[in-house]
Structure 1
């Protein structure tokens, strides 16, 4: 059985595992690893903290367990730590993982960029749970990769992202669509739960919605040579090629 590996920053709970598995084709599994950072007491999600995480050897050390033959690709499943250093900082993380494990790898931010390019999106709106300091870094990162961010909606959370419900996310995305014209909507942060709403939401707004976790799994599957082709989990997952 083919598996992909996800490196999580901090602890991986049942909610994250359940959400991730909803985006998998039949016969594919996910193996999880976590960095040592913030496992016991999660630190506030600030720019300085994320800069420390982005260059921490914890990421590569957590990826080492994925060196077995059953793992085909690895994803670093943290959006903010992979965009906080700007264009190229994301690629450096995945290069370090690949050089250590010998496996193709990606980060969530890289995956979002590739997903947007795959869908032909240039003008985007973004929903982020984070504070403005980080949202500005995300805007810069996306603009460096050639996208126009027409609207950014931040929720100013330092902690407690898991408390944001799927219903809240759906309503916030609908308001983003009302505000300005965009080709696609990006939902930043792998902790944002969208699996149960994405198909209905896209049908309602008529635009692709790219959640961070979905993009990460999509990219890992492609790196593993697998076309997702999953119906009911969003336009990105249902496309072939």
Structure 2
């Protein structure tokens, strides 16, 4: 059979991804990339530590990042991304910048992290007051809030699960419930943290219901990596990625864009009563009262 007419395979643009050893959502990352982009994933070495600030520090050590990027360099990606939220915010803004520098030096290519991409995405949509949802314990969630404050972002409300393992098993309904409880006050957007927390399919639903842009860790990771090489991420009905969605129910009310590292005047972040945790959870839900019974019409 003559197959010379096929002319393939189609040329691919490579995106390198360094993920923690317990990352389980490879397929979710692929949903944000166009057909002519290939993801090349590698993982950090296993360490017998549950999700915590200690683990975040271990999986973001510069030597670990350099070795991972050097391994990815064998397949010549055009950009490399570190896909871990806590690992890239645990050292603050300065720590995130140092991580990017270490990866750039190791691979001689553009490098981004989840938390760095988050600040860029918030600037892109002009959001400076946000609600936050995490699967983490209180201490890790507090560290995220500290990082955001360094980047000029105020947290108006938050909800967290207190999990230290098996985060990829959290169902969408739990993510939605947390989002409804976290969004209080005058928030410009909602951020769902952790690259191991499934979010792709809930983003359009939450944007329509909450009437604000919804960002997630994996979404901003892919958006930031692809933007660094001039490619648009794929995400129908997601305000960060879809201009039509940004003009729709998720549209902001004219909030101006701010410089990435401008620090606003301190404002009190909401901290509501905890919800009942699962048996394996170390800590409870720190969140706002339930969402009102009369949801927005879409």
The answer to whether residue 195 in structure 2 is matched with residue 186 in structure 1 is no
Deviations 1:62-82 (A, max 9, x none): 111222465111110010011
Q: TM-score, normalised by structure 2?
A: 0.74
* Aligned residue number for residue 43 of structure 2: 34
* Aligned residue number for residue 4 of structure 1: 15
Q: Which runs of 5+ in 1 are unaligned?
A: none
Aligned length: 233
Q: What are the within-5 Å matches in structure 2 for residues 69-88 of structure 1? A: 70-88=76-94
CA distance in 1, matches of 2:118, 2:242: 16
Q: TM-score, normalised by structure 1?
A: 0.91
CA distance in 1, matches of 2:243, 2:61: 34
* Aligned residue number for residue 197 of structure 1: 202
C-alpha displacement at 1:55, in angstroms?
2.2
C-alpha displacement at 1:54, in angstroms?
2.5
Whether the 8 Å CA contact 1:126–1:151 is kept in 2: the answer is yes
The answer to whether residue 105 in structure 2 is matched with residue 96 in structure 1 is no
Deviations 1:182-230 (A, max 9, x none): 0010111001111112112211211111100100000000011112364
The answer to whether residue 219 in structure 2 is matched with residue 217 in structure 1 is no
Whether the 8 Å CA contact 2:17–2:39 is kept in 1: the answer is yes
Query: What is the CA RMSD across the aligned residues, in angstroms?
Result: 1.7
C-alpha displacement at 1:11, in angstroms?
4.1
Which one has a bigger Cα radius of gyration?
A: 2
Bigger fraction of residues in strand? 1
CA distance in 2, matches of 1:230, 1:134: 28
CA distance in 2, matches of 1:150, 1:228: 28
Q: Which runs of 5+ in 2 are unaligned?
A: 1-11, 245-298
Counterpart of 2:31 (choices 22, 26, 40) is 22
* Aligned residue number for residue 241 of structure 2: 237
C-alpha displacement at 1:51, in angstroms?
2.2
Bigger fraction of residues in helix? 1
